[in-house]
Amino acid sequence: MKQSFIWKNLFPLLTFIFLAGHAAAQNNAPITGTVRNEKAEPMPNVSVTATREGSSFRTATQTGANGSFRLELPAAGQYRIIFSHVGFAEKTETINFTGQAVSLDVTMEPGLGSVAEEVVVVGYGRAARRDVTGAVKSIKSSDFNRGIINSPEELLQGKVSGVSVVSASGEPGAVQNITVRGPGGIRTGSTPLFVVDGIALDNATAGGATNPLSFINPQDIESIDVLKDASATAIYGSRGANGVVLVTTKRGRVGFSNMAYTFTGGRSSLARALPVFGADAYRSEVVKLGGTLQDFGASTDWQEEITRKAFTQNHNLSLSGGANKFSYYGSFGMQLQEGILKGNDMKRYTGRLNLTQKLLDDRLTIDANLSAANTVNLRPDIGGLIGGAISNNPTLPARDAEGNPYRFENGINPLTLLAVEKDMTTINRVLGNLSGSLTITKGLVYRLNFGVDNSTADRDVQSLPNQVPLRLGRLVNLTNQNRNYLVENYLTYSGATGDHRYTLLGGHSYQKFTLRGRGWSINNFPISGIEPIYNPGIGQELTLANNRPTGYAIINELQSFFSRL
């Protein structure tokens, strides 16, 4: 009796749940179709976006290799289906969705619509390529140089006319010298202004003989825009006298989820050794010139002893995607690079997180960008190493019977230099900015950008004590701190009158740079198993005559008002 009562009461409820679920399943009937070009060929990678009239609903997908797509809609209503692809005019289909399956076959035509139109990044904004009058060159990620890329500047090498990229040396992490339209002035130098995601860098190296842009993972870069002439760079004032390089990093796309892993590796070796006498030729030439031959009976190629076949590897993992009005891009990169000189290595670890959130019916957009990098650069005494390799007697043995570096009084074995000399720089850098744009009225947009660039570098130059030849040992420590704060506020108004379009920009920028450095040294270390770099306190000489501390501090503030029409 009790069971019958329960069943009679539960049956209507279960029936309701079943019918509701069935109705929901009907409302979730998909919209499918195929997108083709003007030649009736299937088009992959077409962005398909659905928005519902009178609501903030938005969903997106992408066509597959055969041009097909599938969209799930939550409920009946009127929807706009937008198809877009680079190089083709945007196409919109309006449907009255009743919950039944819908099939759409769409043909896209080439055109100069909003998607096909090339957009370049200019100072404090973007513009259509045909509206830019200055000398601006935009390089997208698809046009970058391929292969082993160790620094962002190498992506541009040979791609932009008037832009020269030359490495100061072949060692890992070496400074890349980049000039735009020739060298600059005596006071301004030749380095252009670098702007990363809206933050103008101070172009000061964080410390050591390293590239100031090495904190950027080349795999994270979406595009690089180069402003070359005075009209294009004028909005940056005198800082843009040597050109401006605008770096834009990658962002996620709404409706797409992607995980990618890339690996590149390569080997490098000494391409052409310096022409010096071998052991037999050395013996012959010394006698011919009437010199006194010191023949130690060996035949040593000193350049071969200090060089190696070096291996470089780059690992990159990225995650990107988005849902509704939120998108994200995250990445982790690891670069392990060996130099062709023994004892020369660089390790770089980078991380990035870019977030975008749209609010208030897309009137408010908030972007957050954060990147962090740790770089460890290890260098030998390069000058002494190469100098010893090309000047040492080739009849000297490189190693003794026990395999240790051979000791001789007149000079120093380059292998001994490798053992006792070390130059290690560790750089930690964090770059982040929070920006927002609010559409006040049609065509009028207010933008705020707040950014921080913080880097610290610790450099240790160590010389271990040695008996033959006699070295007392020395440790030098150099510490650098760079701070860069930026606050920008500006308004942009875009309008049109007849066949004419115009954009008016006006704003204020405040930027503060703080550079600080300190240095100290200690002499005379005992020969032990402890390196001075790990315990400076075992040093025995600390005087103002030989170990005077050094330091500096520079504070620059820049306030600017800018406008453009």
- Give residue-wise pLDDT tens across range 171-196: 888 777 888 877 765 555 678 888 99
Nearest to 262 by CA among 220, 321, 324, 211: 220
The answer to whether residues 506 and 494 touch, using CB atoms and an 8 Å cutoff, is no
Pairwise pLDDT comparison (157 vs 275), residue with the higher score: 275
| CA distance to 7, 166, 423, 498, per residue, from 226 (Å) | 75, 17, 35, 32
The pLDDT value given to residue 133 = 56
The hierarchical CATH code for the domain 2-107 is 2.60.40.10
Q: What is the pTM of this model?
A: 0.77
As a whole number, mean pLDDT of residues 125-132 equals 64
CB within 8 Å of 269: residues ≥ 6 apart: 307, 308, 309, 310, 340
The pLDDT value given to residue 370 = 96
Answer whether residue 154 shows pLDDT above 90. Answer: no
CA–CA dist 490, 563 (Å, integer): 9
> Of all residues in the chain, what percent carry a pLDDT higher than 90?
49
How many alpha carbons lie under 13 Å from residue 405 in its C-beta half-sphere? Answer: 20
Helical ranges in 341-412 per DSSP H: 382-391
Mean pLDDT in the chain?
Answer: 85
CA–CA dist 42, 458 (Å, integer): 56
As a whole number, mean pLDDT of residues 464-489 equals 93
Answer whether residue 437 shows pLDDT above 80. Answer: yes
Q: Are domains 2-107 and 119-249 of this chain identical in fold?
A: no
| CA distance to 77, 86, 99, 329, per residue, from 255 (Å) | 20, 17, 21, 13
pLDDT band, residue 479 (cuts 50/70/90): very high
Answer whether residue 497 shows pLDDT above 90. Answer: no
CATH of 119-249, one of 3.40.640.10, 1.10.287.3510, 3.30.930.10, 2.170.130.10: 2.170.130.10
> What is the sign of the dihedral through the CA atoms of 295, 297, 302 and 304?
positive
Q: Domain boundaries in the chain?
A: 2-107, 119-249
CA angle at 320 for the pair 48 and 365, rounded to the nearest 5°: 75
Helical ranges in 138-275 per DSSP H: 230-233
Nearest to 322 by CA among 313, 330, 331: 330
As a whole number, mean pLDDT of residues 60-67 equals 85
Nearest to 200 by CA among 507, 431, 481, 506: 431
CA–CA dist 237, 353 (Å, integer): 31
The answer to whether residues 141 and 223 touch, using CB atoms and an 8 Å cutoff, is yes
Per-residue pLDDT of 248-295, as tens digits, reads: 999 988 777 889 999 999 999 998 999 999 999 999 999 999 988 989
As a whole number, mean pLDDT of residues 206-233 equals 78
> Of all residues in the chain, what percent carry a pLDDT higher than 70?
89
The secondary structure of residue 187, as a DSSP letter, is T
Helix (H, G, I), strand (E, B) or coil at 385: helix
Q: Which residues pair with 504 in a beta bridge?
A: 493
What's the token pair of residue 205? 């190296």
Helix (H, G, I), strand (E, B) or coil at 413: coil
What's the token pair of residue 208? 């050591």
Pairwise pLDDT comparison (120 vs 305), residue with the higher score: 305
The pLDDT value given to residue 187 = 57
The pLDDT value given to residue 114 = 41
